[in-house]
Chains A and B, each alone.
Chain A
């Protein structure tokens, strides 16, 4: 009896020791595994973001540089029609590109989801492939196609039409945006449509709903999370883009991305550039919150 008590006490002390050891090894594990990555992200991600935030309240020095004096003038400047128009027009262009990508992407994703397994993989890889090729090269391809002496014009010329000025307008910017980010629309749509239980659609049809009705009342609402994700994936890189408006839009400051680039590389106005960057970020954060809210409701 005494023997068992002794061994019981030993077991208790052993388990306590191992628990203390476990706690210590967990602390070490946390330090070793989380430490390096988090330290890196703090220095090269969080500090830079905090710097952007802090520069918004300072003023540009007369010869470039930053005057460390608190001011609200960057934010009032943001409301200047000159800049407000650019923000509004970027919102407009990114929205049009997103809607077009959705209208093109949905039927495509829908059909891919119905394909036999082997063709499904091939069709999906073919959607993603262009996305893995250099972004600038894909934009450049449109210059070759659409420029004044370009291929579309020479083809039209053979028919006795044109030449037209296709490049350097808002239509080409939208085309470039849709072309660049369409794969990002198709993939989440495909994932949502693929998950859909085909029996639901059959049930709807059996109950007498016409295909259009089934689509509106069953398919579309159930794939809405995919629609929202796809739209976000296209809108976010479109809204902050500066390469496509520059190369296909003629280099004027038509989108907020160009404006930001110019503030940092031409005007050397870091405080105002930071304020524009913050505005860009604010729009995107509002959209992300909307998405989180719609996902929770769904």
Chain B
């Protein structure tokens, strides 16, 4: 097919636009000087400072706790919901409720949960963020598992039932094994989204228990420090690795099925 030459200009501009700011952060994170704006020489000192920053350490631990907990909860609830919506319901309303948390603006969900926690007088803490993250995590897990379900072979489930298996046996022996790649992808998605999530955590966390994005937010608000460059570079490295591994994994599972 013909590729108009002229299109290469906006094409490359898009990638420069997307990656130039990231590249600047990475380069500046290895700066030996104190200024976040001029590169004086190579050093790892900001990574050392970062390792000694207790606040960031606490934020990181909180984030991982919340992400792990909400991922487990969201994966269990989301998988059940996906099977239920695909096999036991024909209701458009239930379908809509299932995807609502994924399409609702984060600010609206955040305000709703803040108001809800306040109304029932629940104390805020890591648990309130965990419960909040499960809401959208579940919707994403359910969506991913459902696309997998539409590819799953329904006749196998019918055969299992006709041969006298109980619904529970059919689920655990037939349905679930077919869904494992979808469940894994959904869990990975829920985990990544929770780690990165800021707005909902900002409204539902206790001030004494901030997650990492909240710590970053308060650091950025008080100005530029090279420590954030180092932290940003590490976060970039982690998410790039996760995305590329996930990409490889889906290609692997696709070649198996």
- With A105-B14, A144-B229 already in contact, the answer to whether A149 and B37 are too (CB < 8 A) is yes
- With A25-B167, A277-B111 already in contact, the answer to whether A33 and B88 are too (CB < 8 A) is yes
- With A52-B112, A107-B11, A140-B228 already in contact, the answer to whether A240 and B216 are too (CB < 8 A) is no
Q: Which residues of B contact A240 (CB under 8 A)?
A: 105-108
Q: Contact between A243 and B217 (Cβ–Cβ < 8 Å)?
A: yes
Q: Which residues of B contact A35 (CB under 8 A)?
A: 84
Interface residues of A (CB under 8 A from B): 25-26, 28-30, 32-38, 40-41, 44-49, 51-52, 55, 104-105, 107-108, 110-112, 114-115, 125-130, 132-145, 147, 149-151, 154, 179, 182-183, 186, 198, 211, 236-237, 239-243, 246-247, 257, 260-261, 264, 270, 273-274, 277, 280-281, 284
Q: Contact between B239 and A134 (Cβ–Cβ < 8 Å)?
A: yes
The answer, yes or no, to whether B21 is at the interface (CB within 8 Å) is: yes
CB-nearest residue of chain B to A126: B15
**Chain A binding site: helix, strand, loop or mixed by DSSP?**
helix
CA distance A277 to B87 in the complex (A): 35
CA distance A240 to B111 in the complex (A): 12
Q: Contact between A51 and B115 (Cβ–Cβ < 8 Å)?
A: yes
CA distance A104 to B17 in the complex (A): 10
CA distance A116 to B107 in the complex (A): 40
CA distance A258 to B84 in the complex (A): 39
The answer, yes or no, to whether B160 is at the interface (CB within 8 Å) is: no
The answer, yes or no, to whether B13 is at the interface (CB within 8 Å) is: yes
Q: Contact between B138 and A280 (Cβ–Cβ < 8 Å)?
A: no
24 contacts between A and B (CB under 8 A): A26-B88, A32-B84, A34-B89, A34-B94, A36-B77, A37-B77, A37-B80, A40-B134, A44-B113, A44-B132, A51-B116, A108-B10, A132-B243, A134-B216, A135-B198, A140-B228, A147-B224, A151-B24, A151-B37, A182-B17, A236-B105, A243-B199, A243-B217, A270-B118
CA distance A79 to B171 in the complex (A): 55
Q: Contact between B3 and A111 (Cβ–Cβ < 8 Å)?
A: yes
Q: Contact between A144 and B138 (Cβ–Cβ < 8 Å)?
A: no
Q: Which residues of B contact A242 (CB under 8 A)?
A: 107, 199
Contact of B116 among A32, A48, A211 (CB under 8 A): A48
Q: Contact between A247 and B221 (Cβ–Cβ < 8 Å)?
A: yes
Q: Contact between B87 and A33 (Cβ–Cβ < 8 Å)?
A: yes
CB-nearest residue of chain A to B196: A134
**Nearest chain B CB to A207 CB, angstrom units:** 16
Q: Contact between A48 and B10 (Cβ–Cβ < 8 Å)?
A: no
Contact of A128 among B36, B98, B243 (CB under 8 A): B243
**Can you add 9 more A-B contacts, CB < 8 Å, to A127-B18, A144-B28, A277-B107?**
A32-B84, A36-B80, A36-B81, A132-B240, A143-B224, A144-B24, A237-B105, A246-B221, A261-B107
Q: Which residues of B contact A149 (CB under 8 A)?
A: 35, 37
Q: Contact between B24 and A137 (Cβ–Cβ < 8 Å)?
A: no
The answer, yes or no, to whether B114 is at the interface (CB within 8 Å) is: yes
Q: Contact between A45 and B135 (Cβ–Cβ < 8 Å)?
A: yes
CA distance A105 to B76 in the complex (A): 37
The answer, yes or no, to whether B156 is at the interface (CB within 8 Å) is: no
Q: Contact between B10 and A260 (Cβ–Cβ < 8 Å)?
A: no
Contact of B89 among A30, A105, A277 (CB under 8 A): A30
CA distance A128 to B14 in the complex (A): 12
**Nearest chain B CB to A148 CB, angstrom units:** 9
**Nearest chain A CB to B16 CB, angstrom units:** 11
Q: Contact between A143 and B18 (Cβ–Cβ < 8 Å)?
A: no
Q: Which residues of A contact B72 (CB under 8 A)?
A: none
Residues facing A in B58-109 (CB within 8 A) are: 76-78, 80-81, 83-85, 87-89, 94, 97-98, 100-101, 103, 105-109
Q: Contact between A274 and B216 (Cβ–Cβ < 8 Å)?
A: no
Contact of A133 among B35, B83, B101, B239 (CB under 8 A): B239
